[in-house]
Amino acid sequence: MTRLRYGIALLIGCTAFAATPALAHHGWAWSTGENVKLTGKITSVKLGNPHGHVTMDVDGETWDMVVGQPWRNERAGLKDGDIAEGVVMTVDGEPSADGQKILKVERLWIDDQEYTLYPDRL
């Protein structure tokens, strides 16, 4: 019986440990809860699942913009090539609470066209 209890405890501990990074990464808990608006030039783009990353130069500082999943970007009206290197983009979203230059984008503007990625957050 002791082996069975040990095995169950080990399984529970491993499962909890494996889930910890996912809990820390997903959602909005890592952000400040306050929105900021930034404008800059896109320097690199990696779109895809689980979400895209767009690097922007904002007044000489490098920011990582976390954009939506492909389906979310498409639902907002973005098309292939809209988010591309060299494009000037304005973003509105929540920055990282730990001071890193990371922003979870809720809305963005390209050429005065607004795209809302998270309408439920506005």
Give residue limits of the domains in the chain: 1-30, 36-121
Q: Which CATH class is domain 36-121?
A: mainly beta
Which pLDDT tens digit goes with each residue over 54-96?
999 999 999 999 998 999 999 999 998 999 999 999 999 999 9
The residue-averaged pLDDT of 88-108 equals 93
pLDDT at res. 19: 43
pLDDT band at 13 (very low <50, low <70, confident <90, very high): low
pLDDT value at 28 more than 80: no
The pLDDT, as a whole number, for residue 88 is 98
99-to-30, 38, 112, 121 alpha-carbon distances in Å: 10, 15, 29, 22
One-letter amino acid for residue 91 of the chain:
V
